[in-house]
């Protein structure tokens, strides 16, 4: 995954909507929180902006399709799988050169980094129909997407911190209430720091 991501940044797409990124989440709740903040909230904001500009809205539908696709493969991507492929790998050395050229077999010693580089270049050229000559433009757009991505994340983080700091008295009173509740439930006397200070 890291090797493929490296080449995605080296050979970016001009047709991308946002800066590519992301990582694998270990817990369902962190995935749901990330999905809300990185997928759903931006989709609704962009669709709201498109609504105000009287343009066709598409981001919420697109995100719903992406989420559905991820849910379909979730069973297979969240479990660890072990496949014994020793016989398949040994086939490469057991067949003659003519059959090797006729029936393409993956060489177990092949350079995976080079494979991912060609894979990304193939996606650019054949799936996204991008001209290899527009790579400098794609890299400029990629840098702009990076700056916008970081600026938006910083903006929302600042808003979140401002919200928490403006509501901290609610949070502190809630913590004090929990502290008092635990003190009343405790069968042992609680020794506070103030009790043993001179």
Tell me, yes or no, whether 21 lies in a domain: yes
Domains held by the chain: number: 1
Tell me, yes or no, whether 193 lies in a domain: no
Tell me, yes or no, whether 63 lies in a domain: yes
CA distances to 47, 51, 128 from 58, in Å: 7, 10, 19
CA distance 186 to 184: 6
pTM of the model: 0.65
Tell me, yes or no, whether 195 lies in a domain: no
Range of the domain at 125: 2-186
pLDDT digits (tens, 9 = 90+) for 111-136: 888 889 999 999 999 998 999 999 99
Tell me, yes or no, whether 118 lies in a domain: yes
Tell me, yes or no, whether 192 lies in a domain: no
CA distance 167 to 99: 71
Structure tokens at 176: 């004090």
Question: Which region, left, alpha or beta, applies to residue 104 given φ > 0 means left and ψ of -120 to 50 means alpha?
Answer: beta
pLDDT digits (tens, 9 = 90+) for 59-73: 999 999 989 998 898
Tell me, yes or no, whether 162 lies in a domain: yes
CA distance 78 to 26: 8
Q: Which of 1-21 are b and which e, b meaning 16 or more Cβ less than 10 Å from the residue's Cβ? A: eeeeeebbeebbbbeeeebee
pLDDT digits (tens, 9 = 90+) for 131-181: 999 999 999 999 999 999 899 889 988 988 888 888 777 777 777 777 777
Tell me, yes or no, whether 191 lies in a domain: no
Q: Which pLDDT belongs to residue 196?
A: 45
């Amino acid at each position: 995954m890291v090797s493929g991501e490296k080449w995605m940044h080296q050979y970016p797409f001009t047709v991308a909507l946002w800066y590519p990124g992301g990582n694998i989440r270990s817990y369902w709740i962190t995935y749901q929180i990330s999905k809300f903040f990185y997928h759903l909230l931006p989709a609704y904001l962009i669709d709201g902006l498109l609504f105000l500009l009287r343009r066709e809205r598409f981001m919420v539908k697109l995100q719903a399709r992406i989420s559905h696709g991820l849910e379909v493969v979730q069973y297979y991507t969240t479990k660890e799988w072990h496949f014994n492929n020793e016989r398949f790998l040994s086939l490469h050395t057991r067949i003659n050169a003519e059959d090797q050229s006729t029936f393409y077999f993956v060489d177990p010693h092949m350079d995976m980094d080079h494979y991912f580089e060609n894979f990304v270049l193939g996606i650019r050229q054949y799936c996204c129909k991008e001209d290899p000559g527009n790579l400098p433009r794609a890299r400029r757009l990629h840098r702009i997407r990076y700056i916008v991505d970081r600026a938006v994340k910083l903006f929302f983080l600042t808003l979140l911190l401002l919200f928490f700091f403006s509501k901290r008295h609610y949070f502190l009173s809630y913590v004090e209430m929990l502290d008092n509740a635990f003190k009343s439930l405790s069968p042992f006397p609680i020794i506070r720091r103030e009790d043993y200070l001179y």
